[in-house]
Structure 1
Amino acid sequence: MLLEQSLIIAAMQRHSSTFWWLAECWVSVFNKLIRRYKYLEKGFEDEVKKLLLFLKGFSESERNKLAMLTGILLANGTLNASILNSLYNENLVKEGVSAAFAVKLFKSWINEKDINAVAASLRKVNMDNRLMELFPANKQSLEHFTKYFTDAGLKELSEYVRNQQSIGARKELQKELQEQMSRGDPFKDIILYVKEEMKKNNISEQTVIGIIWSSVMSTVEWNKKEELVAEQAIKHLKQYSPLLAAFTTQGQSELTLLLKIQEYCYDNIHFMKAFQKIVVLFYKAEVLSEEPILKWYKDAHLAKGKSVFLEQMKKFVEWLKNAEEESESETEEGD
């Protein structure tokens, strides 16, 4: 594989002002060679992996050029993102070579494609959650990663990693929640755990109430008979009302829960007739309040099954409106 290695080294010798154009030319050469001689594809990737392992042997200027070229090769599919495994070499990471190289590489890659294409390539090789490992263990924090790459002009990469971290944290939260519920842990312990995770991972209450709802509904095997599932649901949800109430302290969180209930009842046909009963239960248990329910009914509901659910809620909403008017009248009389 000396030919490919020689071509890469030769490309790195060009002056930086013309390197981008030259890099595109070299990429075209590589592509033509590999298309013509398919057996070169695997060998070429192996040689690039070896080159990346010995980045310390190149000058900073040469590393930058190699990073730019590698980014272009990744963008057009000549190289597989698995080559980035070489950047996790302990010595390269420790001396900051990996992170600096990654900056130039991702700039080049994103310049050719976009962050969505880059993310898709990383996911294919299970590397979308490993970018933090470009830094030593004592610097593997979201704050450090975000600052480093944002300062380097890669805000979109920083935001992508932040989103990945958030998704991972939410998945872990749901998994732990389900385990705690299965064990029958006290609600006060569960609430404390969730609030700590919210603070640590900057997860909003609206997001959390959706996670709790999903977890609560997944802890039981539901009856397949429509006439029995409503009773089963009310009994089950009544038990978990204190937990849900702890995370509906904001109107938007209540509305989020209403939408989750609507979506669940629509997606699970046996629950279609249970929607109103669940909402009334949560109203009585002070999980939901008047204003979000009225807002949901007026214009914040989903399209899914809306005619069925609005009809179910009609009498209860009328009762809420009348109760609200009576309350206002009593207040005015008191004044």
Structure 2
Amino acid sequence: MSSKERPTLGGTRIKTRKRNITVPLDPAAFADAVVQIYVDNAGDLELVAKSIVESSDLNFSRYGDTFFEVVFTGGRTQPGTIKADEGERHPYSILDCEPKREAILPSVMYIQKILRRRPFLIKNLENVIQRFLQSLELFEEDGRKKLAIFTALAFSQKLSGLPPETVFQPLLKDNLVAKGLVLLFVTDFFKDYLIDNSLDDLISILKRGKMEDNLLDFFPSSKRTAEAFSEHFSKEGLVSLVEYNEKKIFEVKLKEMKSTLTTQIAEESEISDVIETVKQHVKDAKLPDFEVVKILWDVIMDAVQWSGKNQQQNANSALRQVKTWASLLNAFCTTGKLELELIYKVQTQCYEDTKLMKLFPDIVRSLYDQDVLAEDTVLHWFQKGSNPKGRQTFVKSLEPFVKWLEEAEEEE
């Protein structure tokens, strides 16, 4: 054997390993292939979905954005625009539908089926939606409405994994907001979403989209007021949203007043200054009197320095606080109804806070002595009070004081 020859095994056949060499489709060829599936099935989305999920030749992982461009517009779009690019197109896209829920819903269900089989495509759907929303000015009015309806239906049908921030955050481009396009879009979105869902559902989506406290950001800066909000959405028939926003604003104003008063009372400001602060908040925020009375009581009692389990010290501290700030309460408990509201507030707090449970009669007596509560108010609460919290216990504990009031009245 020549030293240059290599030994071989007789009868064996050496095989070369075969490799599946696939040439990736380019975006244009991919788009044309998807368009052809639509055309071959005459736009029947059930059949189109079946063909797409069973296809092994289409590189969805690489061309997911292109796929959703075909779904929304019927073909590829030019980079950075919504203009049609060269290539085949089909007439069954979302933007070719009528701007009606029943026309767009089948496309939402179709996308849902695709995402269940190819969940990685959710990111591509986000990309395309974001791009379209940031290009609202390039759409005609009908196109913007179709996008709003699609988005509302997508959330109604809980389209697999579509996060609300994908919709709301891209909208907040200054030029889109300034032109009023964002307000028109969200108005259509709210109206369509609330057809199938409750206001609580809508608020939940807004929370997840980090917009619950920023609804005025949808308005042009010149109209970014509570009055403009109420006027616009009332005109659009979204009264429940207006009521929600007014309640939200009201709660914020109450919180602001409480914060200011807490600081003033902690710093032992002059009572006249505190009274003026309350009056200004009431005027600016149009706060109802009964809410003011409850906030005043909360702030006064929150400032008490409690001493753990020492009941006598707690009683002394609470009664000293009542005496110190009685004139503040007196300035706003101007009617029998407001005095009764104050007793109910005291009753609730004493019922819910164990360290105050036994202080109820002492606090009522102190408020009477400081002329915050009238005799008639105390007697009315004793005889007809409607707050059930601890009432039986508190009525019994107040009996000696009421008896004293009645005897004093008889002597007079």
Moved more, 180-189 or 107-116: 180-189
Distance 1:130 1:150 in 2: 18
Is contact 1:49-1:86 (8 Å) kept?
A: yes
Instruction: Tell me which of 289, 292, 296 is aligned to 1:208.
Output: 292
Q: Relative to 1, partners in 2 of residues 1:307 and 1:105: Cα closer, same or farther, differing over 3 Å?
A: same
From the superposition, tell whether residues 8 and 211 of structure 1 become closer, same or farther in structure 2 (CA, over 3 Å): farther
Partner of 2:147: 66
1:288/1:106 CA distance change after superposition, 3 Å: same
Where in structure 2 are the equivalents of 1:310-329 lying within 5 Å?
Answer: 310-323=395-408
Q: 1:107 to 1:222 in 2, by over 3 A?
A: same
Matches of 2:411 and 2:157, distance apart in 1 = 68
Query: Which structure has the highest helix share of the two?
Result: 1
1:136 deviates by 2.3
Aligned to 2:66: 2
Q: CA deviation at 1:193?
A: 1.7
Structure 1 position 183, deviation (Å): 2.3
Residue-by-residue CA offset, 1:142-171 (whole Å, 9 max, x unaligned): 111100110011111111111111111111
> What is the SS of the residue equivalent to 1:287?
coil
Report what 1:140 is aligned to: 224
The answer for the alignment partner of 1:255 in structure 2 is 340
Distance 1:87 1:321 in 2: 68
In 2: Cα distance, 1:298 partner to 1:124 partner: 49
Q: Which has the larger radius of gyration?
A: 2
2:125 aligns with 44
Amino acid at match of 2:97: R
TM-score, normalization by structure 2: 0.74
- Offset of 1:31 from its aligned partner? 2.0
Separation of aligned partners in 1, 2:336 and 2:133: 53
Which of 207, 220, 237 in structure 2 is aligned with 1:123?
207
Change (3 A) 1:278 1:51: same
- What letter is aligned with 1:6? V
Contact 1:8 1:66 in 2 (8 A): no
AA in 2 matched with 1:34: L
* Alignment correspondent of 2:359: 274
Task: Tell me the CA shift for residue 321 of structure 1.
Answer: 4.0
Question: Do structure 1's residue 107 and structure 2's residue 191 form an aligned pair?
Answer: yes
Alignment TM-score, normalising by the size of structure 1: 0.90
Residue 138 (structure 2) aligns with: 57
Give the whole-Å Cα distance in 1 for the aligned partners of 2:411 and 2:121.
81
For residues 5 and 207 of structure 1, what CA distance do their matches in structure 2 show? 54
**Pair 142,273 (structure 1): closer, same or farther in 2 beyond 3 Å:** same
Provide Cα deviations, 1:68-111, integer angstroms capped at 9, x if missing partner: 11112223333333221222221111111111111100001111
Q: AA paired with 2:198?
A: D
> Identity percentage over the alignment?
28
Structure 1 residues 295, 118: closer, same or farther in 2, change over 3 A? farther
Unaligned runs of 5+ in 1: 328-335
Larger mean Cα displacement after TM superposition, 230-239 or 219-228? 219-228
Change (3 A) 1:40 1:277: same
SS at match of 2:124: helix
Within 1, Cα distance between the matches of 2:124 and 2:406? 73
Across the aligned residues of Structure 1 and Structure 2, the Cα RMSD in angstroms comes to: 1.9
Q: Is the 8 A contact 2:323 2:366 kept in 1?
A: yes
3-state DSSP of counterpart to 2:119: coil
The answer to whether residue 108 in structure 2 is matched with residue 24 in structure 1 is no
The ranges of structure 1 where at least 4 consecutive aligned residues each deviate by more than 6 angstroms after the TM superposition are none
Change (3 A) 1:228 1:147: same
The one of 224, 232, 251 equivalent to 1:167 is 251
CA 1:217–1:42 in structure 2 vs 1: closer, same or farther (change >3 Å)?
Answer: farther
CA distance in 1, matches of 2:381, 2:70: 66
Deviation at 1:280, TM superposition (A): 1.0
Correspondence for 1:332: none
Classify the secondary structure of the residue corresponding to 1:246: helix
Deviation of the 1:113 alpha carbon: 0.3
The farther-off stretch of 244-253 and 39-48 is 39-48
Which residue identity is paired with 2:287? I
Bigger shift: residues 222-231 or 92-101? 222-231
Gaps of 5+ in 2: 1-64, 74-92
- Looking at structure 2, the residues matched to 96 and 218 of structure 1 have their Cα atoms a distance apart, in angstroms, of 45
The CA distance in 1 between the partners of 2:339 and 2:301, in whole Å, is: 17
